[in-house]
């Protein structure tokens, strides 16, 4: 049967797959084999027919006869092929015998454990706990596909070292034996263009500011605790900064003396009557203002000046009222004194 299949395809690549077939069909019952050989025979007949047809259709004139040129053997290619062949023919049998021995050692249903082991190793999804031949029957068809040229041994190795299985399979084979070479990062031949470096500040001010900002934001991650949040808020100017000072940000107040806040009666001089209800009222205003911590000194002064203007605009009415008041004011005083 092997010969027939070998007749079918003659490239070294298919030889590999043929070997695989041989391996899998080793332990099989004759049933499957017969079917297979029948199928193969049929196929080979077809192929022969086709070949003959092709031969006939070839031009037969003498001029087109190919001259046989003797060339040197491509030794490298041959050696490679041979090596591959050996490797492939060795490894799978090893795998099989190993699984067999393991299965025997475990005991019980030897065939089933063997098939389970195989399916686990090959990483294919043979969930059915059928006999070994079932699994192998399934594999045989796959092994004939010339699509992916990975040997089974390679496959097993991939699964054992799961890390780079798929990538490796697709990738051109790497020189794995390559030793770890030390790269001296600063051991090259310098270009000898520059002799020194100097730090020159960027002359595009806005640009460099934006660049700094961008870099700072890249390393600003969501805060990991409350303090980091406080740091963030401090930098954004949302909270008072340390050290705490309750006049923070009130720059104007830094330059004003407390006397300007407290001693306000001097602002009454010049316009306010020295006695009487207006004076009385304004003194009360001054006391109130001197105790107010929410207004700036300038605001307090403005406040007083507002009253000044107010009283001045009402001076006529006030004058009349005051005259009346002076007359009447004696009476309540009397009453008071009476009381």
Task: From 44-52, 66-74, 155-163, 298-306, give the range in contact with other proteins by CB under 8 A.
Answer: 155-163
Which of 53, 214 has the CB closer to other proteins? 214
**DSSP track, 268-307:** GTTTS-SSSHHHHHHHHHHHHHHH-SSS-HHHHHHHHHHH
Helix (H, G, I), strand (E, B) or coil at 124: coil
* Cβ neighbours of residue 287 closer than 8 Å, sequence gap 6 or more: none
In whole angstroms, the minimum distance from the beta carbon of 190 to other proteins comes to 4
In whole angstroms, the minimum distance from the beta carbon of 114 to other proteins comes to 16
Tokens of 224: 């990991």
For helices 30-57 and 12-26, the axis angle rounded to 10 degrees is 160
Site for other proteins in 7-26 (CB under 8 A): none
Task: Tell which residue, 29, 24, 30, 3, has the closest CA to residue 138.
Answer: 24
Cβ 115 vs Cβ 129: under 8 Å: yes
Site string for other proteins, 77-116 (x = CB under 8 A): ----------------------------------------
Site for other proteins in 185-224 (CB under 8 A): 185-200, 202-207, 210-211, 213-224
In whole angstroms, the minimum distance from the beta carbon of 236 to other proteins comes to 5
How many CB atoms are located within 10 Å of the residue 39 CB? 10
In whole angstroms, the minimum distance from the beta carbon of 106 to other proteins comes to 14
In whole angstroms, the minimum distance from the beta carbon of 313 to other proteins comes to 29
Q: Does residue 128 bind other proteins (CB under 8 A)?
A: yes
Site for other proteins in 241-270 (CB under 8 A): 241-242, 248-250
Tokens of 167: 């990538």
Which of 97, 248 has the CB closer to other proteins? 248
For helices 277-291 and 297-313, the axis angle rounded to 10 degrees is 160
CA of 318: how far to CAs of 154, 275, 314, in Å? 112, 14, 6
Which of 72, 217 has the CB closer to other proteins? 217
Q: Does residue 178 bind other proteins (CB under 8 A)?
A: yes
Site for other proteins in 24-83 (CB under 8 A): none
Which of 59, 187 has the CB closer to other proteins? 187
Task: Classify residue 153 as exposed, middle or buried by CB count within 10 Å of its CB (0-12, 13-18, 19+).
Answer: middle
Q: Which of 53, 236, 257, 336 binds other proteins (CB under 8 A)?
A: 236
Q: Does residue 293 bind other proteins (CB under 8 A)?
A: no
């Amino acid at each position: 049967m092997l010969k027939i299949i070998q007749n079918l395809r003659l490239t070294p690549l298919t030889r590999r797959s043929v070997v695989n077939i041989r391996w899998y069909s080793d332990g099989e019952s004759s049933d499957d084999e017969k079917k297979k050989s029948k199928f193969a025979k049929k196929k080979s007949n077809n192929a022969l027919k086709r070949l003959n047809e092709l031969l006939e259709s070839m031009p037969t004139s003498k001029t087109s006869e190919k001259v046989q040129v003797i060339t040197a053997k491509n030794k490298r290619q041959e050696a490679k092929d041979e090596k591959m062949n050996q490797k492939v023919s060795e490894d799978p049998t090893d795998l099989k015998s190993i699984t067999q021995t393991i299965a025997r050692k475990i005991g019980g249903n030897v065939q089933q454990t063997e098939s389970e082991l195989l399916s686990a190793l090959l990483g294919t999804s043979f969930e059915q706990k059928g006999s070994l031949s079932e699994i192998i029957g399934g594999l045989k068809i796959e092994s004939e596909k010339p699509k992916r040229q990975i040997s089974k041994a390679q496959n097993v190795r991939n699964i054992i070292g799961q890390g780079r299985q798929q990538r490796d399979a697709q990738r051109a084979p790497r020189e794995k034996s390559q030793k770890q070479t030390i790269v001296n990062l600063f051991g090259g031949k310098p270009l000898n263009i520059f002799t020194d470096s100097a730090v020159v500040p960027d002359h595009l001010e806005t640009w460099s500011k934006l660049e700094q900002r961008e870099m700072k934001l890249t390393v600003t991650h969501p805060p990991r605790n409350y303090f980091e949040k406080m740091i963030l808020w401090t930098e954004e100017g949302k909270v008072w900064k340390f050290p705490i000072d309750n006049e923070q940000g009130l720059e104007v107040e830094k330059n004003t003396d407390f006397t300007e806040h407290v001693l306000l009666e001097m602002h009454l001089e010049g316009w306010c009557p020295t006695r009487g209800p207006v004076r009385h009222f304004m003194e009360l205003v001054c006391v109130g203002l001197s105790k107010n911590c929410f207004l700036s000194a300038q605001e307090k002064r403005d406040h007083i000046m507002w009253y000044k203007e107010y009283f001045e605009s009402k001076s006529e009415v006030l004058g009349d009222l005051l005259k009346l008041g002076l007359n009447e004011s004696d009476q309540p005083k009397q009453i008071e004194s009476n009381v």
